[in-house]
Amino acid sequence: MRMWRTLAVGLGLLLPAACGKSTSVDLPPFAVQLQQVLGSGLSGPIDLQAPPGDSRLFIAERPGRIRVVQSGVLLPASFIDISSRVSVQGEAGLLSFAFHPQFANDPQKRFVFVHFIEPTGNPNGEIVVERYQVSSSDPNLLDVSSVQPVIRIPHPDANNHYGGRVAFGPDGMLYLSVGDGGGGNNQFGHAQDAASHLGKLLRLDVSTLPYTIPPDNPTWGAAQPSENWAIGLRNPFRYAFDAGQLYIADVGQGQREEIDVVAASGPGLNYGWNRMEGIRCFPNGGQCNMSGLTLPVYDYDHSEGCSIIGGYVYRGAAIPELQGQYLFSDFCRGFVRSLSFENGMATARQAPMVNVGTNVTQSFGQDGAGELYLLTGDGRVLRIVR
């Protein structure tokens, strides 16, 4: 299942959550549209971030560069260019990056953690996270000589299902979502193997590099804590933290797409793949042992889409009626929906939006003011506006 996605026109409606959980309130569609910020100059934009309060936009291009938009202008020089080291086979590429939580406040911690697939050692590459420091002479440049390794995860079996995203949690730890190793049906058995880092959400302490394992990480029955914070994921291409909660959009196999919402501080969860796909037993929806599994709060079947793409909870100021709503999309149908999860109940709404074309939307982005963006494979950056 490819993870690259699209956006299309949607209709306002109330959608049921997983397991029949939904509110009875008929919420109106949220009235937003897309404003083009950039229409050219980028190659495969895949992630957009900014430190809190920073007016610049930092945009990762899948082939291996991070670019800077300043005062609405795409700067000609890259923030960093590691394209010579990045594989773009299958679903590989430069997938995400994260600013250190103290980036904006501490000149000694102007670090950026870059997450990409490198072809070194095997044809399907390795999942790599490295730390770079901003140049002392140019705030729009990372010093490549400052590189420090964080983690490498072999991904030998196939060139799909890499995941993933690197991001800091509210606890100051670095999280990394990793796909199940690729192929189909979890055929390599990684997702439920607690000794593997594939099909997992990792939690790392990067205060000392390359990293240490937080002592409160789960042990999974071993003598010592593991890097693995959670298991049983298929292809968690995007996740987000907000207000003490963790939202994971996990791409399904052939029938269900899911969103998991849990307390961000909850360790040792098993999201069920491949015993479950969404709220149903895998592969045929029959009977299975669900004990010990964390089921999604919301899922939908493939009559509505085929490959979920997770976004963020909206915390900007421009669209106050969207406050606290989690935005997500789907590759095949291209809708944009918002999800609210309160008192154990999930409610989704769909937005009427301008159609930006099929098979082009790659990711959501979030700027330093909490405003949200959509990134497209044909090089556009689109801001979600009222």
What pLDDT was estimated at residue 356?
Answer: 59
Residue 55 lies in a domain: yes
Task: Give the max Cα distance, the chain.
Answer: 62
Query: Domain residues for 131?
Result: 40-317
What pLDDT was estimated at residue 21?
Answer: 40
Decide the pairing of beta strands 57-61 and 45-49: antiparallel
- CA 366-372-377 angle, 5° bins: 85
State the Cα–Cα distance between residues 112 and 263, nearest whole angstrom: 26
What pLDDT was estimated at residue 336?
Answer: 83
Decide the pairing of beta strands 228-231 and 269-270: parallel
What pLDDT was estimated at residue 27?
Answer: 53
Residue 13 lies in a domain: no
Six-digit token pair at 212?
């240490």
Residue of 1, 6, 77 whose CA lies nearest to 331: 6
Q: For each of the chain's 386 residues, which pLDDT tens digit applies?
A: 444 322 222 223 333 333 434 333 345 567 888 899 998 899 999 999 999 999 999 999 999 999 999 999 999 999 999 999 999 999 999 999 999 999 999 999 999 999 999 997 777 999 999 999 999 999 999 999 999 999 999 999 999 999 999 999 999 999 999 999 999 999 999 999 999 999 999 999 999 999 999 999 999 999 999 999 999 999 999 999 999 999 999 999 999 999 999 999 999 999 999 999 999 999 989 899 999 999 999 999 999 889 899 999 999 999 998 999 999 988 787 788 899 998 888 999 888 765 656 777 789 999 999 999 999 888 889 999 98
- Whole-angstrom Cα Rg for the chain: 19
Residue 31 lies in a domain: no
The tally of CA atoms less than 13 A away on the side-chain side of residue 194 is: 16
Identify the CATH number of the domain in which residue 164 sits: 2.120.10.30
What pLDDT was estimated at residue 30?
Answer: 73
Residue of 370, 317, 364 whose CA lies nearest to 48: 364
Cβ-proximal residues to 93 (8 Å cutoff; 6+ apart), any chain: 44, 46, 62, 63, 64, 86, 87, 116, 117
Q: What is the DSSP string of 19-41?
A: GG---S--PPPP--EEEEEE-SS
Residue 344 lies in a domain: no
Rounded to two decimals, what is the model's pTM? 0.93
Cβ-proximal residues to 118 (8 Å cutoff; 6+ apart), any chain: 85, 86, 87, 125, 126, 128
CB 277 within 8 A of CB 259: no
Sheet holding 372-376, edge to edge: 33-38, 381-385, 372-376, 361-366
Residue 61 lies in a domain: yes
Q: Is 173 helix (H, G, I), strand (E, B) or coil?
A: coil
How many other β-carbons are positioned within 10 Å of the β-carbon of residue 195? Answer: 10
Residue 130 lies in a domain: yes
Instruction: Provide the domain count of the chain.
Output: 1
Residue of 243, 242, 153 whose CA lies nearest to 199: 153
Residue 351 lies in a domain: no
Six-digit token pair at 73?
């202008």
